[in-house]
């Protein structure tokens, strides 16, 4: 294989539109919903923006802002160091993880009908086996993206769907996450706030997606959008988080390359 042709073909396909770039990122605004934990725990800050200047006395020719937020605000990446199960792994923070892993294939598991019918829908092993029966084995090194169309609720209270028992949003069962880790996946991505279901605090173990993925050195992507525009197989995801020193994650732009 001529590797020079590989990049030339990529550039040509992008220029001609045979490859499309799809944005899987929600716009990060000060209103974008953040995870709410029980009050005894520290909380995730939303985005804050402070204008420094806008072509005015503070900067006559330039516009810019200071901003701050949690590492897990908006569409964001979870690194293994985020969870106690991944705390002692090598290269487990966003500044040290292998950049070769930040470009890779994705498959989509469509749970949109199930999630519309039941906000507490859980993706289980039977769904994954049915997906494999229809589409072939889940590839080692793939991002597994759980499509729920939950991204479409980002402007409404249904996005977090909170009541006195916490968040009611879809996610995987512990067994499903173990199954995916056993397949050697690169990471798991969702349209909700968190790779885990809203009620995952009461699972065994609690927050199984975080527990098993990060314990295995795997990654998470959350608050994704436009998963309904991806093929079941064949997309390539580009998702480099900010290079924050010892960062547990970061907001980021997530792009998908898709054959048109
Ligand atoms: Mn997170």
pLDDT tens series, the chain, 260 aa: 677 799 999 999 999 999 999 999 999 999 999 999 989 999 999 999 999 999 999 999 999 999 999 999 999 999 999 999 999 999 999 999 999 999 999 999 999 999 999 999 999 999 999 999 999 999 999 999 999 999 999 999 999 999 999 999 999 999 999 999 999 999 999 999 999 999 999 999 999 999 999 999 999 999 999 999 999 999 999 999 999 999 999 999 999 999 99
Report how far residue 158's alpha carbon sits from residue 164's, in angstroms, rounded to the nearest whole number.
14
Ramachandran sector of residue 168 (left: φ over 0; alpha: ψ -120 to 50; beta: rest) = beta
Q: Ligand 1 centroid vs 169 CA: distance in angstroms?
A: 15
End-to-end CA distance of the chain: give it in Å, rounded.
Answer: 24
User: Active site includes 82?
Assistant: yes
pLDDT of residue 1: 66
Neighbours of ion ligand 1 (CB under 5 A): 72, 78
Ligand 1 centroid distance, CA of 70 (Å): 9
CA distance 102 to 184: 15
User: Which residue has 């009611």 as its token pair?
Assistant: 168
Backbone angles phi, psi at 114, to 5 degrees: -65, -40
Among 72, 82, 210, 211, the one annotated catalytic: 82
pTM here is 0.97
């Amino acid at each position: 294989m001529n590797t020079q042709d590989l990049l030339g073909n990529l550039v040509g396909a992008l220029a001609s539109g045979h490859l499309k770039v799809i944005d899987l990122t929600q716009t990060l605004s000060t209103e974008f919903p953040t995870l709410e934990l029980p009050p005894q725990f520290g909380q995730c800050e939303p985005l804050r923006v402070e204008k420094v200047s806008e072509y005015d006395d503070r900067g006559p020719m330039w516009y810019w802002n200071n901003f701050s937020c949690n590492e897990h605000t908006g569409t964001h990446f979870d690194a293994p160091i985020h969870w106690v199960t991944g705390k002692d792994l090598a290269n487990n923070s966003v500044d040290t993880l292998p950049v070769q892993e930040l470009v890779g294939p994705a498959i989509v598991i469509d749970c949109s009908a199930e999630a519309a019918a039941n906000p507490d829908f859980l993706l289980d092993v039977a769904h994954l086996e049915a997906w494999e029966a229809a589409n072939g084995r889940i590839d080692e090194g793939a991002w597994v993206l759980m499509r729920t169309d939950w991204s479409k609720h980002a402007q409404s209270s249904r996005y977090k769907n909170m009541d006195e028992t916490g968040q009611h949003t879809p996610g995987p069962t512990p067994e499903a996450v173990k199954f995916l880790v056993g397949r050697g996946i690169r990471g798991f991505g969702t349209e909700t706030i968190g790779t885990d279901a809203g009620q995952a605090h009461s699972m065994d173990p609690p927050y199984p997606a975080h527990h098993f993925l990060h314990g295995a050195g795997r990654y998470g992507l959350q608050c994704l959008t436009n998963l309904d525009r991806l093929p079941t197989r064949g997309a390539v995801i580009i998702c480099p988080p900010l290079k924050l020193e010892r960062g547990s994650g970061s907001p980021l732009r997530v792009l998908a390359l898709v054959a048109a």
